[in-house]
C-alpha cells in the first residue's frame, strides 16, 4: 500500500521524479540539499546499494524547484529518514521493474537474475542487459504502486560501511564546488550595504560619486536597502566601501537592546505553554510541583546568543531574464520555501521563479542564505538580463544572520530514596523559527523589511510541533513520575533569532544533564548509575555504558598546576532520534582557570548505519562545534547592535584547542535509521560542565565557560 511508503515518496510517487537514467549513470534527484553534512554521499550509498550499481555510477542532484521532488527543508536531522528512505524505496521499485523486464526478455524467472553495476545478467543463458538498454532513452515515468521488496540488510555491501565522500575531491583540488565559484555568461558582481542594526534607518545617501567609479553598473537604493552592481568584484567592493562612507543613518531609540538578557527573557514573556511528552498544549498551566520530603534541589542555566558562524559568508546569484523569469542560485536549506517567500516579496507568481541549490560553506541552520538570495533577486530585478552574483562580506553575515537565541532554563527537582519524584522546568527563550516561509503579507526576509514599502516581519508564534523549538528535548528522557515543564516564549524581535543546529536541545540538554549530575551528587550516587537507574530503554543504557567504559580506559598525562576531571552526559535527540552519550576529560589551570579539553568519547546509536564514516564525522563535528559554543562563544552587544563583526570579536575554537575524540557506533542494522547530525550538540556542554566540577568543585551553569567566570565562581563558592 502506498501509505506504507516514506511520506516524501507518497507526495512524489512518480519514480522519474527521483531517478533519471542517462548515459550509463543514475541521477538521483533529492529534494534535500548538501550543507557539508554529507547527505549526498549517504544518499548515493543508499541508491547504489538498492539498485546494485557502483557508487561512481550515481550522480546526486540536490534540491531545485524545476526538477526532482520538493522536500521543503533540509533541517532537524531528518534527511536520511525522509529523503534517504524515499530514495531507497524508489530504487527498490526501479530494481524490481528492471528485473521483471529482463525476466520477460530472457524468458526466465526473475529470481534467477543477478545485477552487477546496473547490468542484469542471466547466468543460465549467458545473456545480459543494462538498465539503460531496457529503458532505451525513456525514463520511469510511472507511479510507485505499493511497498517494493527492499533488499535484505544481510545482503548489504555498501550501506553500513564507509566510503569516500562524493563531493570532497572537487573541494580539495580547486574545482568549482561552491556557489561563489559559479561562472555564468555575462555575470556581474554585487555587494550590499546594510545598517548596523534594526534600530538604524537611512536618512540620506548621495550615490552620484559611486556611480562614476570605473566598472560600476548601477547603485540601487530602495528604502533602507542599498546595493551596487559592477563588472568586477573589486569594483563592487570599492563602491560598497564608498557607499558605507556616504550613508547617513538615524537611530530609533525605541529599539535599544536589553542590557540584562536573563532579566529580559524572564520579564518579557508573551506566551507560556505546558509541555507534555514533548508536545506543547493549551492545558492551563498547573501550579509548581511541591515536595515535603526527600531532597530538593534547584538550579538555573543560561546560554547566550550564538552565531551560526559559517566560514563562507552568504551568497547568491540571480538573473531576471528577458522573459520575466527569475532564476536564483542559493545555498538555502529550503529552495521550494524560498521560492514562495521571494515570489511574495516581489509580487510574482511562483511559476516565474526557479531556485537551484548551490553549496556554500556549512550553515548549521538558518543563516544569511535566504536573505542573500532575496538581496540578489532585488538587484537582478533592478538590472535585468544579467546574472548578478551577490556576496555578503563577513560583517554582513556576523551582524545580520539570525542568531541562535539566548535561553534561560530553571530546574528544580525532588528526590526520594535516590529517585526523582518531581521535576519542574521553566524554559525562557525567543523564537527558534524565523525561516522565510511563504506567509501572507508578511516576510522573514531581511531585504523585505528594509526595502521601500517594507513588509512586516511575520508575527512570532509558539512552535506547537513535538520537540519543536524552545521545547526540543525539554522533557527529560528519564522515568520521572511527575513533571511540570513550561516553555516561555518572548516574542520581542529587536534581536533577530532563528534555527541553529539542535535548536532548544542544546540549552535544554545542557541544563538537564548538568542537573542530573547535581542530583546524583546531592544524593551521593554515581552519575552514570543514577542516569541508568532512571532509564527503561536498553539502547539508552547501552550507549551510556559504552561511553563510560571507554572514558574510564582513557589515560592522559597530568601536569603541575592543573586539576583534572571527567564528566558525562546523555540525550536521545528529540527523545525519538539518535542516542548519544558524551564523556570528556579536561584540565583546569589552578592559576589562570584556563580549560584544556583533552579528550572526548562519543557512544551513539543511530539505528541502522548508512555511512559509518559520515556518521562519525557528524557526531564528532557536532561535539567540537558544541564545545566551541560552550567554552568560547557569546554575541556581545552595545546599545543597539551586536559588536561581533568578525572572528576577533567572536572567537571560536582553534586547532590547538580541540580535544582528541573517540567515537563508538552501536549499529542496529535492522532498526530504522535515525538522524544524527544534531545528537551530540546537547550532551557536550553538560559533559564539560560536569568535568569542570569533577576537577575543581566549581559548578558552572552559564555559557560560555570563560576563565573569568570560573574564577568568579571559585570566589563565591
Partner 1 sequence: MIEKKSRTLEQDNLSDVNLSIRLYISCNSQLRTHIVTQYSLNVNGKNHVIDADGNTPLLYILRGELDIKSTKYGCGTELCGACRILVDGNLLFACTLLLKDADKTIITTVEGLTESNKPGALQQAFLDINAGQCGYCLAGILITADKLLEENRSPDRREIQLALDGHLCRCGAHNRIIKAIQSVAESDDD
Which residues are at the interface with partner 1 (CB under 8 A)?
A: 35-38, 162, 164-165, 167-169, 171-178, 180-181, 183, 232-234, 237, 309-313, 359-362, 364, 391, 393-394, 613-614, 617-618, 620-625, 628, 646-648, 652, 654-656, 658, 660-661
Tell me the Cα Rg of the chain: 27
- 180 or 429: CB nearest partner 1: 180
- 26 or 626: CB nearest partner 1: 626
The C-alpha cell 506543547 sits at 280
d(CA 695, CA 589): 10
- 402 or 468: CB nearest partner 1: 402
Beta strand ranges found along 311-400 (DSSP E): 315-320, 326-330, 353-357, 388-391
Residue 46, Cβ density class (10 Å: 0-12 exposed, 13-18 middle, ≥19 buried) = buried
- 519 or 603: CB nearest partner 1: 603
> In this structure, are residues 333 and 33 in contact, taking their beta carbons and an 8 Å threshold?
yes
- 75 or 261: CB nearest partner 1: 75
Q: Which three cell numbers stand for residue 490?
A: 518572548
- Determine the angle formed by the axes of helices 39-51 and 85-106, rounding to 10 degrees: 20
Shortest distance, position 348 Cβ to partner 1, whole Å: 31
> In this structure, are residues 645 and 636 in contact, taking their beta carbons and an 8 Å threshold?
no
d(CA 490, CA 495): 11
DSSP SS3 for 404: strand
- 137 or 174: CB nearest partner 1: 174
- 515 or 573: CB nearest partner 1: 573
Shortest distance, position 231 Cβ to partner 1, whole Å: 10
- 236 or 374: CB nearest partner 1: 236
- Determine the angle formed by the axes of helices 683-696 and 505-522, rounding to 10 degrees: 30
What distance separates the 2 farthest-apart alpha carbons in the chain?
85
Residue 111, Cβ density class (10 Å: 0-12 exposed, 13-18 middle, ≥19 buried) = exposed
> In this structure, are residues 659 and 627 in contact, taking their beta carbons and an 8 Å threshold?
yes
Shortest distance, position 179 Cβ to partner 1, whole Å: 11
- 331 or 471: CB nearest partner 1: 331
d(CA 588, CA 707): 9
Q: In what order do the strands lie in the sheet with 271-276?
A: 279-281, 271-276, 482-489, 419-429, 407-416, 295-303
Shortest distance, position 228 Cβ to partner 1, whole Å: 15
Strands 353-357 and 248-251: unpaired
Shortest distance, position 681 Cβ to partner 1, whole Å: 11
Q: Which three cell numbers stand for residue 352?
A: 516565474
d(CA 16, CA 491): 44
- 24 or 657: CB nearest partner 1: 657
- 271 or 654: CB nearest partner 1: 654
Q: Which three cell numbers stand for residue 159?
A: 550501506
Shortest distance, position 401 Cβ to partner 1, whole Å: 13
Backbone angles phi, psi at 514, to 5 degrees: -75, -40
d(CA 547, CA 623): 14
Backbone angles phi, psi at 62, to 5 degrees: -90, 180
Shortest distance, position 245 Cβ to partner 1, whole Å: 12
Shortest distance, position 485 Cβ to partner 1, whole Å: 30
Shortest distance, position 161 Cβ to partner 1, whole Å: 13
Beta strand ranges found along 466-594 (DSSP E): 482-489, 562-572, 579-589
Shortest distance, position 146 Cβ to partner 1, whole Å: 37
Shortest distance, position 35 Cβ to partner 1, whole Å: 7
Shortest distance, position 551 Cβ to partner 1, whole Å: 17
Q: Which three cell numbers stand for residue 3?
A: 501509505
Shortest distance, position 395 Cβ to partner 1, whole Å: 8
Helical (H) or strand (E) element with 298: strand 295-303
Find, among 375, 353, 345, 324, the residue nearest to 438 by Cα: 345
- 233 or 542: CB nearest partner 1: 233
List Cα–Cα distances, 19 to 9, 70, 81, 96, 335, in angstroms: 12, 14, 18, 14, 19
d(CA 1, CA 144): 10
d(CA 519, CA 508): 16
> In this structure, are residues 531 and 478 in contact, taking their beta carbons and an 8 Å threshold?
yes
- 331 or 566: CB nearest partner 1: 331
* Residue 356, strand partner residues: 64, 329
- 20 or 501: CB nearest partner 1: 501
> In this structure, are residues 462 and 273 in contact, taking their beta carbons and an 8 Å threshold?
yes
- 373 or 626: CB nearest partner 1: 626
- 254 or 648: CB nearest partner 1: 648
User: DSSP alpha helices (H): ranges in 361-406?
Assistant: 369-382, 394-400
d(CA 429, CA 364): 19
Cis peptide before 649, with omega less than 30 degrees from 0?
no
List Cα–Cα distances, 418 to 279, 518, 693, in angstroms: 28, 12, 21
Shortest distance, position 595 Cβ to partner 1, whole Å: 16
Shortest distance, position 168 Cβ to partner 1, whole Å: 6
Shortest distance, position 214 Cβ to partner 1, whole Å: 8
Shortest distance, position 235 Cβ to partner 1, whole Å: 9
d(CA 636, CA 645): 10
- 583 or 622: CB nearest partner 1: 622
Amino acid at each position: 500500500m502506498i501509505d506504507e511508503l516514506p511520506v516524501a515518496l507518497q507526495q512524489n510517487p512518480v519514480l522519474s521524479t527521483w531517478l533519471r537514467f542517462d548515459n550509463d549513470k543514475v541521477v538521483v534527484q533529492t529534494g534535500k540539499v548538501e550543507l557539508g553534512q554529507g547527505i549526498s554521499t549517504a544518499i548515493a550509498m543508499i541508491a547504489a546499494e538498492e539498485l546494485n550499481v557502483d557508487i561512481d555510477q550515481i550522480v546526486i542532484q540536490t534540491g531545485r524547484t524545476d526538477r526532482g521532488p520538493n522536500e521543503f527543508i533540509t533541517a532537524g536531522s531528518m534527511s536520511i529518514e525522509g529523503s534517504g528512505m524515499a530514495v531507497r524505496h524508489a530504487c527498490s521499485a526501479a530494481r524490481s521493474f528492471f528485473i521483471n523486464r529482463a525476466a520477460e526478455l530472457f524468458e526466465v524467472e526473475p529470481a534467477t537474475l543477478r545485477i552487477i553495476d546496473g547490468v542484469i545478467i542471466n547466468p543460465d543463458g549467458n545473456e545480459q542487459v543494462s538498465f539503460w538498454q531496457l529503458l532505451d532513452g525513456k525514463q520511469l515515468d510511472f507511479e510507485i504502486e505499493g511497498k517494493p521488496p527492499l533488499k535484505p540488510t544481510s545482503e548489504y555491501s555498501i550501506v553500513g560501511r564507509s566510503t569516500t565522500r562524493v563531493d570532497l575531491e572537487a573541494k580539495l583540488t580547486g574545482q568549482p564546488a561552491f556557489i561563489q565559484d559559479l561562472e555564468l555568461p555575462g555575470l556581474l558582481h554585487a555587494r550590499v550595504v546594510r545598517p548596523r542594526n534594526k534600530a538604524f534607518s537611512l536618512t540620506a545617501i548621495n550615490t552620484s560619486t559611486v556611480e562614476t567609479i570605473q566598472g560600476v553598473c548601477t547603485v540601487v537604493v530602495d528604502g533602507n536597502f542599498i546595493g551596487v552592481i559592477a563588472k568586477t568584484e573589486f569594483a563592487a567592493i570599492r563602491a560598497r566601501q564608498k557607499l558605507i562612507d556616504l550613508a547617513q543613518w538615524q537611530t530609533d531609540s525605541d529599539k535599544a537592546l536589553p542590557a540584562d538578557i536573563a532579566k529580559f527573557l524572564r520579564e518579557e514573556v508573551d506566551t507560556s505553554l505546558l509541555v507534555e511528552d514533548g508536545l506543547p498544549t493549551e492545558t492551563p498551566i498547573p501550579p509548581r510541583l511541591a515536595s515535603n520530603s526527600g531532597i530538593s534541589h534547584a538550579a538555573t542555566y543560561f546560554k547566550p546568543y550564538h552565531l551560526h558562524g559559517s566560514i563562507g559568508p552568504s551568497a547568491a546569484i540571480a538573473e531576471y531574464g528577458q522573459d520575466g523569469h527569475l532564476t536564483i542560485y542559493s545555498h538555502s536549506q529550503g529552495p521550494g520555501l524560498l521560492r514562495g517567500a521571494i515570489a511574495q516579496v516581489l509580487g510574482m507568481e511562483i511559476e516565474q521563479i526557479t531556485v537551484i541549490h548551490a553549496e556554500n560553506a556549512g550553515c548549521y541552520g538558518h543563516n544569511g542564505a535566504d536573505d542573500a538570495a532575496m538581496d540578489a533577486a532585488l538587484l537582478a530585478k533592478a538590472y535585468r538580463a544579467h546574472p548578478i552574483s551577490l556576496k555578503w562580506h563577513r560583517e554582513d553575515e556576523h551582524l545580520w544572520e539570525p542568531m541562535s537565541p539566548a535561553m534561560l532554563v530553571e530546574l528544580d527537582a525532588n528526590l526520594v530514596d535516590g529517585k526523582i519524584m518531581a521535576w519542574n522546568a521553566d524554559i525562557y527563550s525567543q523564537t527558534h523559527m524565523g525561516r522565510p516561509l511563504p506567509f501572507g503579507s508578511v516576510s522573514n526576509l531581511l531585504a523585505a523589511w528594509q526595502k521601500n514599502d517594507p513588509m512586516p516581519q511575520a508575527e512570532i508564534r509558539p512552535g506547537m510541533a513535538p520537540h519543536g523549538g524552545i521545547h526540543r528535548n525539554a522533557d527529560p528522557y528519564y522515568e520521572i513520575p511527575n513533571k511540570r515543564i513550561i516553555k516561555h516564549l518572548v516574542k520581542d524581535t529587536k534581536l533577530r533569532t532563528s534555527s541553529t543546529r539542535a535548536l532548544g536541545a542544546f540549552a535544554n540538554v545542557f541544563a538537564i544533564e548538568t542537573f542530573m549530575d547535581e542530583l546524583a551528587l546531592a544524593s551521593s550516587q554515581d552519575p552514570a548509575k543514577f542516569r541508568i537507574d532512571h532509564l527503561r530503554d536498553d539502547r539508552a543504557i547501552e550507549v551510556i555504558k559504552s561511553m563510560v567504559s571507554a572514558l574510564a580506559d582513557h589515560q592522559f598525562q597530568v601536569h603541575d598546576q592543573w586539576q583534572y576531571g571527567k564528566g558525562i552526559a546523555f540525550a536521545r535527540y528529540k527523545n525519538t532520534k539518535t542516542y548519544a552519550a558524551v564523556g570528556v576529560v579536561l584540565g583546569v589551570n589552578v592559576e589562570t582557570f584556563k580549560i584544556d579539553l583533552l579528550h572526548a568519547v562519543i557512544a551513539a546509536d543511530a539505528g541502522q548505519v548508512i555511512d559509518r564514516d559520515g556518521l562519525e564525522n557528524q557526531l564528532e563535528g557536532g561535539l567540537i562545534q558544541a564545545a566551541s559554543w560552550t567554552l568560547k562563544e557569546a554575541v556581545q552587544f552595545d546599545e543597539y547592535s551586536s559588536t561581533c563583526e568578525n572572528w576577533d570579536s567572536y572567537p571560536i575554537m582553534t586547532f590547538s584547542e580541540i580535544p582528541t575524540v573517540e567515537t563508538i557506533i552501536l549499529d542496529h542494522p535492522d532498526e530504522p535509521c535515525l538522524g544524527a547530525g544534531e545528537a551530540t550538540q546537547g550532551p557536550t556542554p553538560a559533559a564539560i560542565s560536569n568535568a569542570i566540577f569533577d576537577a575543581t568543585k566549581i559548578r558552572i551553569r552559564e555559557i560560555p565557560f570563560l576563565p573569568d567566570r570560573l574564577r568568579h565562581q571559585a570566589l563565591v563558592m
